Chain A
Amino acid sequence: MSVASVPFSFGRLGLIAGNTFLEAVRQKLFNFLLLLAVGLVASAQFFREFNFGSSELKFIADFGFGALIFFGSALTIATTAQLFFSEIENRTALTLLAKPLWRAEFVFGKFLGVFAVIGVFCALTIGLMIALLWHREGQLMVINPDDFANGRLIAYGDLLIVGLLQWLKFGVLTAIVLLIASFSNTNLFTVVTGFFVLVICHLQYLARDQWSNVDNVLLAGTVRVLSLVFPNFQLFNLADEIGQGAGVSGEVALRVAGYGVAYIAVIGGLAVYSFRNREI
C-alpha cells in the first residue's frame, strides 16, 4: 500500500508525537537541563545580593526568564536534532516510512512531541518562578507595607503570557531545527547550525537597523532579504515589560502569538517539503 492511497491521519501523527514525547522525557539531557533550569530559578533568591540595578522582584523575574530562555533554547535544539537523527541512525525511520505513513505525519509528529516536551519544561520553570516571586513578594509586603499600598506589584498574568510566548518561540525554533535536520546528514551539523540560526534570529533586527543606513543598493537589498528570511525572535521577548507601566499589551501578545503560529506552520511545511525530497 503506498502513501498516496491512505489519507492524512491525525491518529498516526498523534502516535508519533506521543512516542517522541516519551522518548524525549526519558533522555538524560532533558532531565539534566530541566534540573539545571529549575535549580537556577530556585537559586535566584540567593543571588539577590548581586542586585544593584533593578528592584529585587524584577531581578528574580529577569533571572528566571534568563534560565528559561537559555536552557529552553539549548533543550529545543539538542532534543529536536537528537530525536530526529536517532530515527535515521537507528534505521527506525526506514521501517516507519516504508509503511503507509505521510512524511508530513512524521515531521509534524516529531514537532508536536518536542513541542510538548518544551511545554513541560516551560510550565515547570514558569510555575516555580511564579511561586518564588509570590513567596518573596509576600515577605516584602510584610517588611515594607508602604511599597505595596496598592497591592501586589507583579502582574502574574503577564508572567504566564510571556511564558506562553517563549514556548511559541521555542516552537518556531523546533520547526527551524527540523527544517535543518530534513536536509542535514549529521546531528552535529544540525545542532551547530541551529545555534547559529538562533543567534541570527535574535539579532536580525540589528541588520534591519543597519540596512536603513547603507548607501550601497546591492548590500542594502541583500541585508533586507536576509532580515526577511529569518524570523524576529526578539519580538517574543516581552519579559522586560513585566512590572513596568501598563505591563504586557494584550494586542501585542496576540500579534506575537499569531506571528509564532504562522511561522511554525510555514517552516514546518517547508521542513516536510525538504524531507520529502530527501533520500533516506
Chain B
Amino acid sequence: MRFDPAALRPFRTGAIVLLGLLGAGIALRPLEAPAWTEVRAKQPALRLDSLKDALGQGVTVGLLGGFRAIVADLFWIRTNALWEKYDLPGTQTSIKLVTAIDPRPLYFWLNGSRMIAYDMPNWRIDKAGGYDVVPDAAKRRFDEEQSSIAIKFLEGALGFHPENPLLVLEIGNIHLNRLKDVETASRYYLRASRHPDAPYYAARIYAELLRRLDRKRDAYDFLKSLHPTLPKNDEMAQARVVLDRIRELEGELSIPEDARYRE
C-alpha cells in the first residue's frame, strides 16, 4: 500500500489553524490584559468562587446569556417559597445560589443573612421540640451556629462590596441582637461609621453601645467629635439628639460647667 501525502492535508490544515489561533492569542494578550484587568475589577460576578456555586445548577445558559438579574430574581422567589416551608438546608443553599448568580445587589446579601441569623435558629428550636422543651444551652448553640454562618456569609459579601457600611452594620447587628456581644458589635458600628457613605445612625448607635459598656467617657468624647460634623438641617443626622446625649453624659460624668461642650 502506497502512502498518500494528501491524506495528511486535513491534519496539516488543522495544525496550522490551531497554531494561528495560538499565535493570535499570544499576540493579542498585551491588548487584552489591561482591559480585562479593568473589566474584571468592576465585575465581582466574574470570579470563579462566585460562579462555581452557580454552574451546574441549570442556570449556565442564563448567566452566559446575560440574564443574570432575572435568573437571580427567579431563584430569590424560590428561596422565599422554601423559607415559607421552614426548609432550612433548602433555603440556605438557595440563598447562596442567588448571591452566586448575582452578587451585585445588597438586597440579597442583607435579607439572606437575616433569614440565616434570625429565622433559622427559631426553626431549629421548633424542630427540636419548641421553646418550652429545648434547654437554654441548646437555644444558645443554635443562635451561635446560625449567627456564625450568617457572619461568614456577610464577610463573603464584603469581598464583592468592600467595606460597604450596610454590610458591616449587619454583622454588627448580628453580634448585638443574636449573640448579645456588645463589645464586638460596637467595633463593627465604629468601622461602619468611618465610611463616607455610612448612615448617620451608625455613629449614634456606636456611642450608645459605649454607654452600655460603661465607657461613658469614650462615648462623650466620641459624640463631641461627631456633633460638629453633623449637618444641622438634615433630619436624618439628628444633630439635636446627639447634643441631648452629650448633655446627658455631661450630667452623668459630672463635667464642670466651664469644661462642657459648646456648640
Interface residues of A (CB under 8 A from B): 47, 50-54, 58-59, 62-63, 65-66, 68-70, 73, 179, 183, 198-199, 202-203, 205-206, 209-210, 225, 227-232, 234-235, 237-241, 244-245, 249, 251-252, 255-256, 258-259, 262-263, 266-267, 269-270, 273-274, 277
Find out whether the CB atom of A274 lies under 8 angstroms from the CB atom of B22.
Answer: no
How many A-B residue contacts, CB cutoff 8 Å?
145
Find out whether the CB atom of A66 lies under 8 angstroms from the CB atom of B28.
Answer: no
Find out whether the CB atom of B25 lies under 8 angstroms from the CB atom of A229.
Answer: yes
Q: Top 10 nearest A-B pairs by Cβ distance?
A: A53-B105, A228-B25, A70-B65, A66-B67, A66-B66, A69-B66, A62-B69, A255-B35, A266-B24, A277-B13
Known A53-B72, A62-B68, A259-B31; judge A183-B10 contact (CB<8 A).
yes
Q: Count chain B residues whose beta carbon lies closer than 8 angstroms to a beta carbon of A.
A: 50
Interface residues of B (CB under 8 A from A): 9-10, 13-14, 16-18, 20-22, 24-29, 31-32, 34-36, 38-40, 42-43, 45-46, 48, 51, 60-62, 64-70, 72-74, 76-77, 102, 104-105, 107-108
Find out whether the CB atom of A237 lies under 8 angstroms from the CB atom of B17.
Answer: no
Q: Which of A47, A73, A229, A235 is within 8 Å of B65, CB to CB?
A: A73
Find out whether the CB atom of A270 lies under 8 angstroms from the CB atom of B20.
Answer: yes
Find out whether the CB atom of A270 lies under 8 angstroms from the CB atom of B66.
Answer: no
Find out whether the CB atom of A245 lies under 8 angstroms from the CB atom of B73.
Answer: no
Question: 9 A-B pairs, CB-CB below 8 angstroms?
Answer: A53-B76, A183-B13, A198-B64, A209-B48, A225-B22, A230-B25, A237-B66, A240-B104, A259-B31
Distance (whole angstroms) from the CB of A96 to the closest CB of chain B: 21
Find out whether the CB atom of A68 lies under 8 angstroms from the CB atom of B66.
Answer: yes
Find out whether the CB atom of B39 lies under 8 angstroms from the CB atom of A63.
Answer: no
Complex CA gap A259/B39 in Å reads: 14
Find out whether the CB atom of A269 lies under 8 angstroms from the CB atom of B31.
Answer: no
